Structures are given as C-alpha cells and as structure tokens.
Amino acid sequence: MLCPVCGSENVVKNGTVHNGKPKVMCKDCGRQSAGNPENKNISQETKD
Ligand SMILES: [Zn+2]
C-alpha cells in the first residue's frame, strides 16, 4: 500500500476506519488516511 498523500511505501497499518477499510499512517509525511488507492491515484506525474 502506498501513501495517498505523498506516494511513499513507508506506511504502517493503524487500525480501521468506520467502514472497515484499513487505516494507514505514513511515516514520511505523517498523514493518516484510509487506504483508497483506486480513487486516489495521484502520482509523481501530478506533482510535477
Ligand atoms: Zn505520506
């Protein structure tokens, strides 16, 4: 799983959200988010 915010692989599972999806915390940017890689396909292409 990748961080949807910064795209880092340095994420850890941090429980689940109300809808049962896994919640992850990114060690790089510090953001917590529910895993949703299909809709949040923001890549380096977007950053540039
Ligand atoms: Zn991140």
Convert the pLDDT of each residue in 1-45 to its tens digit.
888 889 999 999 989 888 888 888 999 999 998 865 555 555 666
pLDDT for the residue 43: 66
Range of the domain at 25: 1-35
Distance from residue 4's CA to the centre of ligand 1 (Å): 7
Q: Is the residue at 43 inside a domain? A: no
Q: Is the residue at 5 inside a domain? A: yes
pLDDT for the residue 33: 86
pTM above 0.85, yes or no: no
Distance from residue 32's CA to the centre of ligand 1 (Å): 8
Q: Is the residue at 4 inside a domain? A: yes
Distance from residue 33's CA to the centre of ligand 1 (Å): 9
Q: Is the residue at 46 inside a domain? A: no
Based on the structure, what is the number of domains in the chain?
Answer: 1
pLDDT for the residue 35: 62
pLDDT for the residue 27: 96
Amino acid (1-letter code) at residue 32: Q
What is the four-CA torsion angle of 40, 41, 46, 48, rounded to 10 degrees? 110
Give the residue ranges of DSSP H helices in 1-48.
44-47
Q: Is the residue at 40 inside a domain? A: no
Q: Is the residue at 20 inside a domain? A: yes
Distance from residue 25's CA to the centre of ligand 1 (Å): 8
pLDDT for the residue 2: 87
